[in-house]
Chain A
Amino acid sequence: MTLHSFIQNATSPWMKNEGPDSDIVISSRVRLARNLEGITFPIIANEEELSPVPEKVEAHFAGHSHKRFGELSLIKMNDLTDNEKRILVEKHLISPNLSGKSKAGAVLLSEDESLSVMVNEEDHFRIQCLLPGFQLQEGLKYANDMDDWMEEKLDFAYDQRRGYLTSCPTNVGTGLRSSVMMHLPALVMTNQLNRILPAINQLGLVVRGIYGEGSEALGNLFQLSNQTTLGESESEIVEDLRSVVSQLVERERAAREQLLTQSTNIVEDRIYRSLGILSYSRRMESKEAMQRLSDIRLGIDTGIIKGIDAKILNELMVLTQPGFLQHYAGEALTAEQRDQRRATLIRERLTLEEHDGGVE
């Protein structure tokens, strides 16, 4: 397999599209937690109790065509190898939690992978819509459509007073978690983000590193999401997040502007150093890779680096994860081997760009 075709197969088709404000907002995601009436939640249910859940999904939705998402297919966790599961996690299509316990776990996926419904994760269903760039309202609309479609066939646990009933009390009500992944290198470099984050927390929003709870923000990537799910309507929750994100987008743009006019030489040096290191290194740890790639992306977005596609960050962020490296290598790799492979993959990717003038 050539690297070109590997990238084509490995990245989600939706990643090829550029969304609004995609110089700063990498992706927008809307998730709805839903449960079936009369079936114990996955956290305490046994496999036998949970097996009707994927069966219902298979009967009503797999192989059927949805007006927005096209044909949907059901993938059962038990049918996947550990590495295949890992790849789904690295593509953000399933959670580590679902991959870890495959007790009747499954995922319903759209062809372009912008829609996934996790089955028997913490809740019976986690409907998730993932879109490129800043498209929270669209994400909500599509996830909502999917919810309506599923509700035509299934009885969701719902209570007039508490709304959609979920396993964790932090999701009850709307069951809605909306989030955006943002690339904020200039706010980090100018030390502004540290001051902004507490204010964002005050507004009831959560900021995390890219792999969710507890992980650190690698490569200046931050995920912002709503914390509360009760007492506000779905559109209000999304609007609150949208307005904070759009303010952050403005601030990041201003900070980039400021960096470029006041410290041009320093910024250029940093970006070109990272380009040099990525172009010639023989070993690359994932943490450094993310940081260097963040610099490259900033270089592309600010016009300092020309001739490299902006999608390189999104692609390599996914491709340099352990699951993909092993997939590309076709064998299990030690950490040492992965660092070597990672450096090679990045070098190849950068050269591919030079020869092709962009992967389309």
Chain B
Amino acid sequence: MLCQECQEREATLHFTKIINGEKTEFHICDVCAKERGDYTPGSNSFSIHQLLSGLLDTAGQQKPSREIGAQQRAEKQCPSCGMTYRQFAEIGRFGCADCYESFDEKLDPVLRRIHGGNAQHTGKVPKRKGKDLHVYKQIEDLKQKLQQLIAEEEFEAAATTRDEIRSLEHSLKGKGGESS
């Protein structure tokens, strides 16, 4: 594929900008990228944040849209820290851990772009909290099972399952008290 800037050299950098939920693809060669200052091979002054704010840009300068849907999406706000998606896109940083949840629907493509196609953690699970996560998952599963048992009117099995859930929840509470 030829570089879209010079139409001469082979494009070596490919990235996607997302503007108001619309994807625009960019294909540039090393020389043009260097001139643009986004990327300098070798010296590696390639600034991830420059690229990031490009990726995350939803300010919609290129498209003064009056669509309410697009506006709302751009104004999506984290209820915990008050950061808007627009602010996040500008500074390339989350304001708090809950931002991941708040902006979740938009994150997969962004994370994939940054992390070589990956958006899901496969590494370390914290020991203490990891155990809890495991228990939460178990409780979740049991609650689903309980719903089903009740629907099927298997009340005896449902009672056993309910007790299991209670004891697991109890074990979590015990831990919570200990650590605070």
Which residues of A are interface residues toward B (Cβ below 8 A)? Answer: 35, 37-41, 43-44, 122, 144, 147-148, 151-153, 155-170, 172-174, 176, 193-194, 197-198, 201, 204, 206-209, 213-214, 216-217, 227-234, 237
Closest residue to B92 on the A side, CB-wise? Answer: A168
Q: Among A43, A153, A201, A204, which residue has its beta carbon within 8 angstroms of that of B93?
A: A43
Is B21's beta carbon under 8 Å from chain A? no
Contact A233 B122 (CB under 8 A): yes
Contact A158 B41 (CB under 8 A): no
Given known A40-B96, A151-B128, A213-B47, contact A174–B114 (CB-CB < 8 A) = no
Q: Give the distance in Å from the alpha carbon of A37 to the alpha carbon of B118 in the complex.
A: 24
Contact with A along B87-123 (1 / 0, CB 8 A): 0000111111100110000010011001111111111
Q: Can you identify 5 A-B contacts, CB atoms within 8 angstroms?
A: A151-B129, A162-B100, A162-B121, A230-B115, A232-B123
Contacts of A40 in B (CB 8 A): 80-81, 95-96
Top 10 closest pairs, chain A to chain B, by CB: A231-B118, A163-B121, A157-B97, A230-B115, A174-B123, A228-B115, A165-B97, A233-B123, A173-B121, A197-B42
Within 8 A of A (CB), among B43-73: 43-48, 52
Is B173's beta carbon under 8 Å from chain A? no
Closest residue to A44 on the B side, CB-wise? Answer: B95
Contact with A along B119-149 (1 / 0, CB 8 A): 1111110111110010001000000000000
Is B83's beta carbon under 8 Å from chain A? yes
Q: Among A144, A160, A169, which residue has its beta carbon within 8 angstroms of that of B52?
A: A169
Given known A214-B45, A231-B118, contact A169–B97 (CB-CB < 8 A) = no
CB distance from B104 to the nearest CB of A (A): 9
Contacts of B97 in A (CB 8 A): 35, 37-38, 41, 157, 159, 165
Is B24's beta carbon under 8 Å from chain A? no
Given known A43-B93, A155-B129, A155-B179, contact A231–B116 (CB-CB < 8 A) = yes
Contact B179 A161 (CB under 8 A): no
Contact A228 B100 (CB under 8 A): no
Given known A41-B94, A197-B41, contact A172–B111 (CB-CB < 8 A) = yes
Which residues of B are interface residues toward A (Cβ below 8 A)? Answer: 41-48, 52, 80-81, 83, 91-97, 100-101, 107, 110-111, 114-124, 126-130, 133, 137, 179
Contacts of B137 in A (CB 8 A): 160
Contact B95 A230 (CB under 8 A): no
Contact A228 B114 (CB under 8 A): yes
Contacts of A160 in B (CB 8 A): 121, 133, 137
Contacts of A37 in B (CB 8 A): 97
Q: Give the distance in Å from the alpha carbon of A230 to the alpha carbon of B111 in the complex.
A: 8
Q: Give the distance in Å from the alpha carbon of A157 to the alpha carbon of B81 in the complex.
A: 15
Q: Give the distance in Å from the alpha carbon of A194 to the alpha carbon of B129 in the complex.
A: 45
Contact A204 B116 (CB under 8 A): yes
Contact B45 A231 (CB under 8 A): no
Closest residue to B101 on the A side, CB-wise? Answer: A159
Contact B128 A169 (CB under 8 A): no
Contact B93 A122 (CB under 8 A): yes
Given known A165-B97, A204-B116, contact A44–B110 (CB-CB < 8 A) = no
Q: Among A43, A201, A217, which residue has its beta carbon within 8 angstroms of that of B91?
A: A43
Contact A172 B81 (CB under 8 A): no
Tell which of A43, A148, A152 has the most Cβ of chain B within 10 Å.
A43
Tell which of B48, B93, B95 has the most Cβ of chain A within 10 Å.
B93
Q: Among B81, B111, B117, B118, which residue has its beta carbon within 8 angstroms of that of A169?
A: B111
Contacts of B83 in A (CB 8 A): 44
Given known A44-B81, A169-B92, A213-B47, contact A234–B116 (CB-CB < 8 A) = no
CB distance from B5 to the nearest CB of A (A): 19
Contact A168 B96 (CB under 8 A): no
Contacts of B100 in A (CB 8 A): 159, 162, 165, 172
Contacts of A173 in B (CB 8 A): 115, 118, 121, 123
Contacts of B110 in A (CB 8 A): 169
Q: Among A213, A228, A234, which residue has its beta carbon within 8 angstroms of that of B118?
A: A228
Given known A43-B95, A168-B92, A208-B44, contact A228–B127 (CB-CB < 8 A) = no
Tell which of B44, B92, B93, B179 has the most Cβ of chain A within 10 Å.
B44
CB distance from A148 to the nearest CB of B (A): 6
CB distance from B3 to the nearest CB of A (A): 16
Q: Give the distance in Å from the alpha carbon of A169 to the alpha carbon of B99 in the complex.
A: 11
Contacts of A201 in B (CB 8 A): 41, 44, 46
Q: A173-B118, A216-B43, A231-B119 are in contact. List 9 more A-B contacts (CB 8 A).
A: A41-B97, A122-B93, A165-B97, A168-B92, A201-B44, A201-B46, A206-B44, A217-B43, A230-B120
Q: Give the distance in Å from the alpha carbon of A234 to the alpha carbon of B137 in the complex.
A: 24
Q: Give the distance in Å from the alpha carbon of A230 to the alpha carbon of B123 in the complex.
A: 8
Contacts of A227 in B (CB 8 A): 48, 116
